[in-house]
Amino acid sequence: MTIKSVSTEIRLSKLEIINDLRLVCESRQASLLGRREVFMGKAKFGIFGDGKELAQIALAKVFKKGDWRSGYYRDQTWMLAVDVGNLKQFFAQLYAHADLEAEPSTGGRLMNVHYGSRSLDEKGNWLNQLERYNSATDMSPTSIQMARLLGFAYASKLYRQLPDLKKYSKLFSNHGNEVAFGSIGDGACAEGIFYETINAAGVLQVPMVASVWDDGYAISVPREMQTTKAEISKALAGFQRNDTEKGVEILKVNGWDYEALCNTYQYAASLSRTEHVPVVIHVDELTQPQGHSTSGSQERYKSKERLAWEIEYDCVKKFKEWIIKNGIATIEEIQAVDRKAKEDVRSARDAAWKEFQVFMKTDFDEALTAIDSLLEESVQKAEIQKVKDNLQKTINPIRMDLIAAVKKALLVTRNEVLISQEGLRSWLIRVNVENSDRYSSHTYSQSQYSPLKVKEIKPIFNDKSALVDGREVINACFDAALKRDPRIFAIGEDVGKIGDVNQGFAGLQDKYGDLRVTDTGIRETTIIGQGIGAAQRGLRPICEIQYLDYIIYGLEPICDDLASIHYRSKGGHKSPVIIRTRGHRLEGVWHSGSPIGMILNCVRGIYLLVPRNMIQAAGLYNVLFQSDNPAIMIECLNAYRQKEKMPANVGEFTVPLGVPEIIKQGEDITIVTYGAMCKIVMDAAEQLANVGISVEVIDVQTLLPFDIHKIVLKSIKKTNRVIFADEDVPGAASAYMMQQVIEVQGAFQYLDCPPVTISAKEHRPAYSSDGDYFSKPNVETVFDQVYKIMNEVSPARFPEYY
């Protein structure tokens, strides 16, 4: 086993080294002051990058414009060094200053040391990534950053190897020379995502440099309890490339050794950039001077000896010693740098705090003035004075304190009619709009490229339209898309050679090559991550999850990363990944095809499409290919062999998102459903017609967005009865549809009887046809439920019969 430590010669000027010292000192000081701000009650929580400064300085030297970072909450020095966040912004984020000017990484939406560059202008157009240091917006779940790291690196591979991408690469890539740099804590390396990513990077051979910041602990748990052999570089040894086998370059270096760090990063970046070799750098012997975060103290779990070692091996101390030993600067010069760093950090803190106060002050002053007017006019003086006093007594009041006070003041005067009440009411309306922008905008695309803005083009059928298997429709749709747009590529298990398990991509690898239609390992998490990173670099991935139930493996990056990319960066990044899968009416416990509620409830920010056949699916895909919001497409397994007419414009027609289709008109009751249940409900409706019950069947087609034109409501106004049917567990997606219609659309007042849901049983479906029949709703279930409702309406016309 070779764990390499590299020795190349570095040449750094005194100026550069002193500049590094300045950055290191500033970053350390920011951590110290930041922690103090939390304890003084000026910020809620603090997590910092102290102890990792020196390694990040070495990293920042090789991190070039155009490169990407996918790191975590310890990368403070790295980000300060390349100015993705400056010192004032560091404190603005600590205070949760909810304004993009003050806190450009997230607009105050994420906790501190959660960085992000901006890839989009205010209108959602791509900015030039080659002109900036790119950083994905950070996340707190440990190791999740690894999945998308693979995608950032993979994009370089595609940009280098696919000649047709040249004309699209202007803003994104210079011949695939960009390296994706990642970082992860030693504890988080125990997560499966870490190993999955390293393995996939070794297979794919992509330019990825992942640093493991090893400070020996994950909060309180030591690395002996996290990692085999207590050392990640040893545990990864099998991945090491050699002269005959490709793999991963694994390097180890101590985090207090400036020279070795600079050498190692130079070597790693150059190898990865030129040869697209993935590299892992195990940065060992790091420390954590202030402990994990502002919650808890490290004295509870670190021994006295360990704490003493951490003081001795503190990277800032060691760096200063190295500078002196090598005659680069005197103690006095170092002290001057230190002093200046302290002053600069203090003034950045003071400036950030002042701006934060001013930011709150307008609202505060206006609210107080309006409360004063009320005090003058109202008879409830004592009560209003109390509200005012309480507000004035609040230490560092924030917006929620103001809203609560204003609402209380209005409540106190509810029995009076006063001119000054209007002032408070209009204040509330104004701040509600502003706060909605601060905290609730950008869940979905707001740009001109939103899927909701794509024009509807109807499918064209003519005499020549052949009746074909549904899979052929989807295959033709993908063929047209791959031909039209070289940025589109598909990855997944069995997607390449055999064109997926249901042949949607059949023949397309032969036609477009194995980088456009690509087989992957069984690794759902990183299939999604590969898409997330690549899409943030301007590509258009279709990530396939072979069967719906296995999306659970990919749900972590879908839910924690993809769904909130646009939201948590307040419109700074987008990642229009299409996640393709097949579901509904599969077979058995792990192929139920129906956990839609589970998905629905954790992917807000991603559109969820559930078409009943392949024509509808193709029309929805054609919308997604030209828009910029991520989406999950659940195709119906049993529709691949269903006969459908091939539209003449299969590559162009569109099916709008959020527009249900009434697939059968009726008068007595509305059934709202989707996916494979459409056929079951239609069959039941036919039988119900035979006994004189007229059912209106609505296929919602997309659950997110849901019926934006209130088509279901219109139907209920006519039938006054409604059932929400699907094959998920009780209280899942059927209940969601009910909430949307009854509460959001306001259908309650038009109902003559209680709304009902039809769903599967609580357990997972048993195997085979009877298993399915007794686990999931079927034609009889639907018939019985409708008949029961109609029996209650008119027992004479619809008598009980069993």
Ligand X SMILES: Cc1ncc(C[n+]2csc(CCOP(=O)(O)OP(=O)(O)O)c2C)c(N)n1
Residues that bind ligand X (CB under 6 A): 74, 140-142, 185-188, 213, 215, 217-219, 292
Instruction: Tell me the residue number closest to ligand X, measured at CB.
Output: 185
Residue closer to ligand X by CB (options 139, 482) is: 139
The C-alpha atoms of residue 224 and residue 203 are separated, in whole angstroms, by 28
Min. distance of Cβ 220 from ligand X in angstroms? Answer: 9
Residue closer to ligand X by CB (options 141, 771) is: 141
Min. distance of Cβ 560 from ligand X in angstroms? Answer: 9
Min. distance of Cβ 189 from ligand X in angstroms? Answer: 7
* 342: exposed, middle or buried (Cβ count in 10 Å: 0-12, 13-18, 19+): middle
Min. distance of Cβ 74 from ligand X in angstroms? Answer: 5
Min. distance of Cβ 141 from ligand X in angstroms? Answer: 4
Query: Would you give the distance in Å from CA 42 to the centre of its chain?
Result: 29
Alpha helices (runs of H) in 40-170, residue ranges in sequence order: 53-62, 76-81, 87-94, 145-161
Min. distance of Cβ 295 from ligand X in angstroms? Answer: 10
Min. distance of Cβ 77 from ligand X in angstroms? Answer: 13
Min. distance of Cβ 82 from ligand X in angstroms? Answer: 20
Residue closer to ligand X by CB (options 73, 364) is: 73
Alpha helices (runs of H) in 485-629, residue ranges in sequence order: 508-512, 524-536, 551-556, 565-568, 596-600, 614-624
3-state secondary structure of 312: helix
Residue 63 near residue 84, CB atoms below 8 Å: no
Residue closer to ligand X by CB (options 183, 616) is: 183
Nearest alpha-carbon partner for 33 in 255, 311, 290: 290
Min. distance of Cβ 140 from ligand X in angstroms? Answer: 5
Min. distance of Cβ 606 from ligand X in angstroms? Answer: 20
* 248: exposed, middle or buried (Cβ count in 10 Å: 0-12, 13-18, 19+): buried
For CA atoms 767, 768, 774, 780, give the dihedral sign.
positive
Min. distance of Cβ 217 from ligand X in angstroms? Answer: 6
The C-alpha atoms of residue 676 and residue 636 are separated, in whole angstroms, by 6
Q: Residue 160 has which token pair?
A: 């280098």
Residue closer to ligand X by CB (options 255, 605) is: 255
Residue closer to ligand X by CB (options 154, 256) is: 256
Min. distance of Cβ 216 from ligand X in angstroms? Answer: 8
Residue closer to ligand X by CB (options 150, 548) is: 150
Residue closer to ligand X by CB (options 20, 215) is: 215
Q: What pairs with residue 636 in β-bridges?
A: 583
Q: Which H or E run includes 209?
A: strand 208-213
Residue closer to ligand X by CB (options 114, 710) is: 114
Residue closer to ligand X by CB (options 217, 653) is: 217
Min. distance of Cβ 541 from ligand X in angstroms? Answer: 24
Residue closer to ligand X by CB (options 215, 728) is: 215
**Which residues, including other chains, have CB under 8 Å from residue 515's CB and lie 6 or more apart?**
157, 158, 161, 162, 489
3-state secondary structure 365-404: HHHHHHHHHHHHHCCCHHHHHHHHHHHHHCCCCCHHHHHH
Residue 647 near residue 654, CB atoms below 8 Å: no
* 735: exposed, middle or buried (Cβ count in 10 Å: 0-12, 13-18, 19+): middle
Residue closer to ligand X by CB (options 51, 496) is: 51
Torsion angle of alpha carbons 289, 292, 294, 299, nearest 10°? -70
The C-alpha atoms of residue 191 and residue 183 are separated, in whole angstroms, by 14
Min. distance of Cβ 47 from ligand X in angstroms? Answer: 8
Residue closer to ligand X by CB (options 79, 412) is: 79
3-state secondary structure of 518: strand
Min. distance of Cβ 45 from ligand X in angstroms? Answer: 12
Residue closer to ligand X by CB (options 316, 412) is: 316
Q: Residue 113 has which token pair?
A: 């040391």
DSSP letter at 243 equals S
**Which residues, including other chains, have CB under 8 Å from residue 607's CB and lie 6 or more apart?**
444, 451, 629, 630, 631, 632, 657, 702, 704, 705
Residue 627 near residue 454, CB atoms below 8 Å: yes
Residue closer to ligand X by CB (options 140, 357) is: 140
Strand 702-704 versus strand 249-254 pairing type = unpaired
Nearest alpha-carbon partner for 616 in 671, 664, 656: 656
